[in-house]
Structure 1
Amino acid sequence: MMLLEKRLRQQHLFVRFMVPYILFMLFALFLGWLFYSQTYDVVKGEVTRNNTQLLEQVKGTMDNRFSEINRIALQLSNDPMVQSFQRVSDPFNSKNAYKVIETQKNLYTYSASNNFVLDYYLVFKNSELALSSNSTYELQSFYRHVLSYSDMDYETWKSDLFGTYRNRELMAAGMTNYLEKPQKMLTYVQSLGYPKRIQGALVVLVNNRNLESLLGGIDVSDGGWAYILDDKGRVVSSLSGDGGVPNFDIGAFPDKSGIIEASKTTNDMMVTYTTSSYNGWSYVVAQPPHVVLGKMASIKHTTTAILLVFLVIGIVLAYLFATRNGRPLFKIISTLTERINGGESRRPKDMYGFIQNSLHQLIDNNDALQNAIDRQAPILWESFMGRLLKGDFLATNEINALLKHQGVEINGAGYAVGILHFHSGGHGFNEDVLQKLDIERVLINESLRATLEDPRFAHNIAEDKIALLFMDYSGDSLLFRQMIERNLEMIKANIQSRFPIKLHFSIGGFRSSLLEVTGSYEEARQSLSAIDYEEAGQVVWFSDLTNGDDGFYFPGEAESRLINYTKAGETEEVRKLLHSLFLENFQNRSLPLAMQQLFFFEIVSCLVKVQDQLMLRGRDDIKQLIHQLSATDHPKQAYGSAMEMFLSICGEIDRRKKSRNVKLIDDIVAYLQEHYGQASMSLDSVADHMHISKGYMSQFFKEQMGVNISEYLENLRMDKAKRLLALTSKPIGEIAEQVGYHSASTFCRAFKRGSGVSATSYRESAHKDVGFSSSHG
């Protein structure tokens, strides 16, 4: 039943994963259809646009050519000899024969410069002659041998030619007998004279092949056609796939140019047309839609094939991806539900919502934590600076850890603390003075932020005092002092340029580590007493003051450090500090006996504070110390005894720590030995059970055992698994679950990584070695 329930859950996950892939494929299919539809419109527009451009080119060429013919007609009609010859009625008498020859010689062969013009003739009414640049015909002979029409006799042609005034008009188009051979021709006529007084005509012959060649770039297959209409609706020239002429009329065109969709009126043809504004001629192309959109058929087939292939491949990939991606998600859900439900693996109804809510909760908690850290950062830094100056730190590692947490790196070769005092002293701090000091302190801090390389090393220590931490990167104390002096001058100049205020500085001695900075701070505080407040901008260096030997040296920060070191069990630090105090008070200073005794009592007082805070017994030992001092009057010997007592307390504290550590590591190992089979076992769960932080847990376990906790747990599980593999016939999946792995595959990878052989191979080898049989299972 459990296996069936698991399979049903996995199947549900599989369906949840498959649905997005199927939707994506449907969306892709929709995009394919949309692409096809858009491509259809683009190709249709491109083809019709190409036809329109081709028609525009034909129209432009025709307009240019007929414009040239019009210029020829204008030149000939205005020619003086042509105008003079129009009045000649008897051309073959001796007087007029010369005019015939001269007029003919004056004619230019325009066909040589304009291949659009096949030939032209000047036909005169009065003389009944037809002249060209290279021939002269009587009119009747001209009609019979040069130019005639099968549907028109000579008299009809003559009557029409001289009876109708034509101004740059087409007289006839179609089959013509030219030089006694049938040929498609355009007869272009320009009458000579006036509308009611026609003296003749200029007849220009245009070969229809030139027009057909202009239309040759249009696809007229499958019943398509292209033709040119003059301004009177007559067919000037046509081109079709079968060589015929269209037998229908689409009527007047609605615009100068455009497209008429296929319909019964157009015999199911798509019609593209344009009209010349020069002579009113229309240029028309009609094509079957499948010819116009022939490219779309190929695109349609290609698109359909691609979509089908994509559909098949998409379904296969969707199945593979859904199967593959569902497994880790199921594991994630199982892990989350087990952790949230206290080990009970119940899959939520809305898995994605569950994961999303978990992530939102994690992100919100992280943001809240980050905001809290950001808000606390200035406070933490102020606390760090205060502890550094007071000497509350016991080890350099502790200082470095806090600096790393704050994102600050300090790698100086030397350090010194200065105090900026901006209150003249001599009177108390009433409400008005405190308010004034608050304003001055804010303004001074602003100036320090603009002056110091890192303003975080300025720390307010009182209403009228600011401590400044200086760092030496050169390792030369002289250069370090010069650097501090330059900084002080910059600070004074910057502050006093904004508002007038008296500033005073005291600088402590140089120290080689941050742990000793508190000594420089105490020296800077002592140097404040040497400031003359009547002198503005005074800088007092502790090293410049005369050391008096009439007082012992045991500042408050040294006492705090001694107490803290002793309580922490830092034997070496206590030894070093007590030794430095011994050298300062018993060797460097020539203290009188009374002052040495007073110093010893301060040491004893510190020892009593340590015993009280640690709740140690030792009142009798204290009495013996005091009695030893009274009996011998040798404070140095008594100081040595006190030093031994301090070191003895450190040893006791260290033994306590080690005893606690032994118990803690035993408890951790016992807990791991007992619960290693839980798959949720981790560093976090062990730390929660032991009520200690995760970071301390990791570091402590590594120090005590030599390996981290995850490595120890995996080794422990592998040892248990090897025993089960060697001594039982349980399935590997069951063994994996028993030793704390979610799946057999994870267990096998871990086993191969740790042992170098697979779990199956290890079992086979172990069974051979011990003579294992199936009955042992």
Structure 2
Amino acid sequence: MGRRKTNSVLNRWIRSYALIMLIPIIIMVVVYIQTKHVIEDEINRANSALLTQLQQDIDNHIDYTYRLSEMISLNPRVRQLMRTPEHLEAEDRIAMVQALADFRTYNSTNRYVDHFYVYFKMGGFVLTESSYYDTSMYYDLRLSETSLSPNGWKQFLGKTYRGQFINMQEVKGQANTGILFAQSLPIDERNTPLATLIIELNEEKLLSAIRNIQAYNQGNVYILDGTNHILASSERDHPGLPDFANLNGELGFVQGKSNGEDVVVSFIQSNRTNWKYVYVLPSRLYSEKAEYIRNLTLLMLAAAVLICAALAVWFARQNYVPLRRLVRSLAERSKLDPGAALNEYDYIEEAIENTMDRNHQMNQMIEKQKNVLRSNLFIRLLKGRTENDFPVREALAEYNVSFRAGPFAVVLIFLEDFSGFFRPHETDLEKKREMVRLIISNIVEELSSKTHQGWVVEIDELLACILNVKPQMPAEEAEHDVLRMIEEAQRFIASRFHIYFTAAVSKLHESPAGLPAAYQEAIEAMEYRMLLGTQTIISYEQIKRQIMSYVYPLDKEQQLINYVKAGEFALAKAVLDEVLHVNLTGQELSIEMVRCLMFDMISTMMKAAMEANLGQTELYEENRKAIQELMSGITVAAMKERMTLFLNKVCNHVDSRKKSHNFRLKEDVLEFIHDQYSDHNMSVNTISEKFGIHPSYLSRYFKEQVGDTLTDYINKLRVEKSKQLLRNDEILIKDICDSVGFYSISTFIRLFKKYEGVTPSLYRESSKY
């Protein structure tokens, strides 16, 4: 209200009075500034003393951390374990137990070290002050609840540290707060470190001293390292931090801003650790003591001002009150800010003109909203959200829409691609979609109006055209004419505007009451876009006859798995193409069964990848994306292409892994197993002795090359051989068990049921039919 008030009679008097009161106000400001400076100096000296005490206290704790790191580095058991391989010997385990006892002694008297552990790179294990863990177990127990991944943790431990303090929040994914001390071991070597020592300082104990200072004056305390990064603070979050880059020298204070508020930053630097101890205190707290004097002065000044102002205002109001009532009345009705006018009379004139403009704008807005209201009414009709006694025709008449007596149909339009219509620099996607919808709506409505009536409305990311077919037109002719009209619209829009879409057409319904059913039919037809492809026209009549089962026999699934495990991409693709061809050619498979078939085949490929022992994360991520696209309505052709690419990647990976090893050894081992499978004593140890290699290496090598463990492969071979013998009823099951190499019949029955799903006797009975 500034401009109107400064030109009113009442406010002219207020300006004069303000000039008189300016002299005592200036005097009060000078006194207040001087008082504030004196108080600031006193508070700064007190803060420096507190920071000095905090520095001395924490430096003592840091000295203990350095001593603890040195003791662990020089511990002979730790140095012995640094060069220990992954498989621990007896003497290594004894050294580990002794190291654990030493660790408990080191940390038994200090309350500022919360936890420490040593990560040994060669052995791949972690030693804490209380126990021994392999890396995965330690991660599950201590770090699994954070967002720090196992690889991220190992990368963090794999770096080289030279007695470095780190804020836990700087470790990517680490959710905890506090300070870590990291030291690569051994300290006296400059080569690649063999182990990493991590010491976690007890945050609560460390921050207790900080909070004592914070409680003194309600400020915030920070501990910075040599590069001015925050190691610890009295607050969890650090929004709007002041600039710490200008904290130069060993002691002092500077002005700054924090969270948009003026603050005073006091600091002191430690000579031992090169850390800075910073105390950030809002400037407003400096002035609290000076405010008492200022408030007292203001109180006396305000009393005098109020007494004088009250008398002046009382006399001025006698003539000003009627005009003010008129301004208030206009302000309540016009919603205008009286302060925008030069004076009261200008405001009255502006209010009248604004009222007339708003009336004109309101009429224009009502006209524009008719299309929106009409669209909402059409959406209610399509979704069946109108009451039985709702006057549909009367409501539509308000928007110049009149249904004829002919039947109704619904056409749904799904936008496929409209990138060719716009220039590359046009990036506003929503504006582009709005333009495309407008073009399609106008063209479809114009084409439908040649014979029928049509209205296009946007609904659930689709465009729906409500068609009121010409009365007395035969149903078959009307259906053909609707399809012809949609084909013409699709062809014209694609050729002239490079906009491509898929359309779904419902059956004809006799009255507007059938619009919800027609809409659902069009939705069901649109789902077959996945099967029939994009940029097509799908009628509900095409999808009525559906087959509710698909053909995907177990032998084909096993063939696909075997080809993938063998890295045979051409054969695996042939099986994939065969299954899809059998199910999708020459029969009308329902869309639900198509999705089930796709899910089934994706599951097969995932199973094959896992049985091939592939640890490629990107392969599984790609398969997950394929499932998401399948749920969102990707076409069968696109899904087949994605599955083919996935098969190619898996087979290439299997094939490359086979070529990187001695493939001849695999063939010799397989030949030996097939020759000696009936030997009861054949095992991993006997086979490794046969070929002169270590059992553990043979197990890993066989798993990489074949996909199954050595034991599983032998058991599967024996079960397969027993199946051939079980077809002969004259051979006893016990004799079959002995002849294929099983020690006991119970083991034979258990493994046969594991791999075949039935017992040997049930298998023998089923093989007769």
Verify same fold: TM over 0.5. Answer: no
TM-score (norm 1): 0.32
TM-score (norm 2): 0.32
Q: Which has the larger radius of gyration?
A: 1
